[in-house]
Homo-oligomer: A and B are copies of this chain.
């Protein structure tokens, strides 16, 4: 009975830990979406809201860390359970960083002038959508401990990279033809780069989910 009780308590702990990470993921997705919406519409109020709400993600990460430490101290989990806690610690950290990228995009909203002239303003939200779906799906993979979905997320990162290359070239051409817009275009370069990094981080989480589910990193993917 004692063992059963402990197992049940551990399961409840880990479910709460996973719940916190799911909550972080939801906030990060919203932040990406709204940061890009603010960018496209020049909506500085929404941008300020995204920046402000990032504090919630920071607080949740601290909560994940504290809960993981508590579980490790109270339950001294072994093998798979231990690996699970370590994965949660790492994934919480990465999702917090994804939120930082969204915040960074939001911070650039006020620094862009003449937004109607930029073709990438059409491409960036589409790029953000792909990255945001990667974040969503990798957290689904995490919840379901599904290495197959994790692999699919990793494969989708190429699409984000292709968007990035295309937007980079487009912005450089735009700068060459319109030197007066260079400062704004440079901000958009960084936005594209931030989204590209979000894709990379979703990929990192996918690798961790794969590790957590199988005990190994996807062998055919360069880290």
Select A76's contact among B76, B86, B183, beta carbons within 8 Å. Answer: B76
Chain B residue nearest to A76 (CB atoms) is B76
Question: Residues of B contacting A172 with CB < 8 Å?
Answer: 182-183, 186
Within 8 A of B (CB), among A167-188: 168, 171-172, 175-176, 179-180, 182-183, 186
Number of copies: 2
| A73: B residues at CB distance < 8 A | 78-79, 82
A72 within 8 A of B: yes
Using C-beta atoms within 8 Å of the partner chain, give the interface range for chain A.
20 to 34
Q: Within A118-164, which residues are at the interface with B (CB < 8 Å)?
A: none
**Residue in B closest to A174 when the chains form the complex, CB atoms:** B182
Q: A65–B215 Cα gap in the complex (Å)?
A: 12
Q: Is the CB of A86 within 8 A of B89?
A: yes
Contact of A86 among B62, B69, B83 (CB under 8 A): B69
- The 3 A-B residue pairs with the shortest CB-CB distance, nearest first, are A76-B76, A175-B182, A176-B179
Could you pull out 30 A-B pairs where Cβ atoms are within 8 angstroms?
A62-B217, A65-B86, A68-B86, A69-B83, A69-B86, A72-B76, A72-B86, A73-B78, A73-B79, A73-B82, A76-B76, A86-B89, A89-B90, A90-B90, A90-B93, A93-B93, A168-B186, A171-B186, A172-B183, A172-B186, A175-B175, A175-B186, A176-B179, A176-B182, A182-B182, A186-B186, A186-B189, A189-B189, A190-B193, A193-B193
